[in-house]
């Protein structure tokens, strides 16, 4: 099979970029690592690891509270990372950027802090059948707790949310929240959110964008998206685990109750009354994930130096290559849209072979993929399967890894022949 050329001058050079990632220096089961599980979590470049290390070695102290120089340096590190995150999503202000553990915590924050005070009987929360559980379960739980309706837009033949349901929903409900992902973690679909955002705003509903899977792969702009909240996770975009961010419109964040209570999020505490702090601190109780935030800032520097447009183009190319090569494997079912409409994610099943068996045998070939429901059980139900295999790609993925996957699948078929 012919090679895909992904490393011309105008394109990202994935072969060269791999040298930034120490993980690829190892072999697994005597084979080079074909790491095809970046949608679950990405690998880490030296530049990001060194930035975190430098912070620990030269600038570490608890932030915001200290008056000594070292604490000020640590605070500067954290706040610089906040500014990098703000610019990365084109948010109007750093006050609107809240550092949290991950996208899940960010989405829970909105569901609890906004939902508990704004949802009630007769109201509806609308999500889609394609949501990750992180943008599904918190809304289902809070809607139920508040006596509101929880509605799920089913997907149509092409795998997109079926918008023909919107008219009926608007007729029968007061829609207060529309929450959906920008990129699906199991099908890879890049959604055109414009019609849903416009519809949400026509209903006077808030629009919550789960960008956990979009942020690693494409340029984000919360103002152009016209959403009200947006959640990202650092570990999926070359940053460390333990750091994510929520962006929210200042006026909404200001009107909300805090999510977690304790140190740092207050302006004054008396026996009879506690006053909340200013944004973003009101939502950042306790000691901040300081080094992790610095790591996220360095990851953003790294991605932007490569260029998000180049990363996106590289993934489209890999997706096209993977769809072509995987399509040759007998008994394979491929899920999801055409390569131009997807980020670097390809879900598939091999006839008669459970995904867990596929993934285990592939591991012996040095190929790491994910097998399971990908935290998308409603979607699996729709597809009529319990699980799928999922190969996912990133800026460091090379076509040879996809070749290794395809060869591995032939080996799997042999075992089960
Ligand atoms: C689309 C999507 N949303 C949310 C999440 C949750 O991210 P985290 O586990 O980092 O909170 C994931 C993680 O896989 C995801 O793919």
Residue 9's pLDDT band (boundaries 50, 70, 90)? low
Centre of ligand 1 from the C-alpha of residue 316, in Å: 21
Please report the atom of ligand 1 found closest to the CA of residue 374. Answer: 14
* Cα–Cα dist 18/300, whole Å: 17
Per-residue pLDDT for 73 more than 80?
yes
At what angle are helices 355-364 and 399-415 packed, to 10 degrees?
A: 110
Higher-pLDDT residue of 16 and 158 is 16
Q: Which residue ranges does the chain devote to CATH 3.90.1150.10?
A: 14-32+307-415
Per-residue pLDDT for 1 more than 80?
no
Q: Ligand 1, from 182, 186, 233, 235: best to mutate by most atoms within 8 Å of Cβ? A: 233
Q: In CATH terms, is domain 50-304 a member of 3.20.20.70?
A: no
* Cα–Cα dist 57/240, whole Å: 17
pLDDT in the model for residue 53: 98
Q: Residues 97-151: pLDDT tens digits?
A: 999 999 999 999 999 999 999 999 999 999 999 999 999 999 999 999 999 999 9
Please report the atom of ligand 1 found closest to the CA of residue 106. Answer: 11
Clarify whether 376 is annotated catalytic.
Answer: no
- Is the CB–ligand 1 distance for residue 293 below 6 Å? no
What is the rounded average pLDDT of the residues 260-286? 97
Q: Which residue ranges does the chain devote to CATH 3.40.640.10?
A: 50-304
Q: What is the pairing mode between strands 206-210 and 174-181?
A: parallel
* Cα–Cα dist 16/189, whole Å: 28
Characterize 225-260 residue by residue with b for buried, 16 or more Cβ atoms within 10 angstroms of its Cβ, and e for exposed.
bebbbbbbbbbbbbbbbbbbbbbbbeebbeebebbe
Centre of ligand 1 from the C-alpha of residue 4, in Å: 30
- Is the CB–ligand 1 distance for residue 233 below 6 Å? yes
* Cα–Cα dist 347/332, whole Å: 10
For 174-295, strand residue ranges (E) read 174-181, 206-210, 229-233, 244-248, 266-269, 274-276
pLDDT in the model for residue 75: 96
Q: In CATH terms, is domain 14-32+307-415 a member of 2.40.10.10?
A: no
Centre of ligand 1 from the C-alpha of residue 181, in Å: 10
Centre of ligand 1 from the C-alpha of residue 149, in Å: 24
Residue 389: in which H helix or E strand, if any?
Answer: strand 388-392
- Judged by DSSP in three states, 349 sits in strand
pLDDT in the model for residue 204: 98
């Amino acid at each position: 099979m012919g090679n895909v050329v992904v490393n011309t001058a105008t394109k990202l050079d994935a072969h060269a970029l791999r040298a930034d990632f120490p993980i690829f220096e190892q072999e697994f089961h005597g084979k080079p690592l074909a790491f095809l599980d970046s949608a679950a979590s990405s690998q880490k470049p030296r530049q990001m690891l060194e930035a975190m290390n430098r912070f620990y070695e030269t600038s570490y102290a608890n932030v915001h509270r200290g008056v000594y120089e070292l604490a000020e340096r640590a605070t500067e590190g954290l706040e610089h990372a906040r500014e990098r995150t703000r610019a990365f999503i084109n948010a109007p202000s750093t006050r609107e950027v809240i550092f949290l553990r991950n996208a899940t915590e960010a989405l829970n924050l909105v569901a609890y802090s906004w939902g508990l005070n704004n949802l009630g009987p007769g109201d509806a929360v609308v999500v889609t059948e394609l949501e990750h559980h992180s943008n599904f379960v918190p809304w289902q739980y809070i809607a139920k707790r508040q006596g509101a309706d929880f509605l799920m837009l089913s997907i149509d033949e092409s795998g997109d949310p079926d918008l023909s349901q919107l008219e009926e929903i608007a007729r029968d409900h007061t829609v207060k929240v529309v929450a959906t992902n920008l990129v699906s973690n199991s099908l890879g679909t890049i959604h055109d959110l414009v019609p849903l955002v416009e519809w949400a705003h026509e209903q006077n509903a808030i629009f919550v964008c789960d960008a956990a899977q979009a942020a690693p792969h494409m340029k984000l702009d919360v103002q152009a998206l016209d959403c009200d909240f947006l959640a990202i996770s650092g570990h999926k975009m070359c940053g460390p685990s333990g750091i994510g961010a929520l962006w929210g419109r200042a006026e909404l964040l200001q009107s909300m109750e805090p999510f977690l209570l304790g140190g740092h999020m207050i302006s004054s505490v008396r026996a009879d009354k506690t006053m909340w702090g200013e944004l973003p601190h009101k939502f950042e109780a306790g000691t901040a994930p300081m080094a992790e935030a610095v790591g996220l800032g360095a990851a953003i520097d790294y991605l932007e130096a490569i260029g998000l447009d180049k990363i996106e183009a590289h993934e489209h190319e890999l997706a096209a290559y993977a769809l072509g090569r995987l399509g040759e494997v007998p008994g394979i079912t491929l899920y999801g849209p055409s390569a131009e409409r997807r980020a670097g994610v390809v879900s598939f099943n091999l006839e008669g072979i459970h995904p867990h068996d596929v993934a285990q045998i592939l591991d012996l070939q040095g190929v790491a993929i994910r097998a399971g429901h990908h935290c998308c059980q409603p979607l699996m139900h729709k597809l009529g399967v319990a699980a799928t295999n999922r190969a996912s790609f990133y800026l460091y993925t090379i076509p040879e890894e996809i070749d290794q996957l395809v060869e591995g699948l032939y080996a799997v078929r042999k075992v089960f022949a």
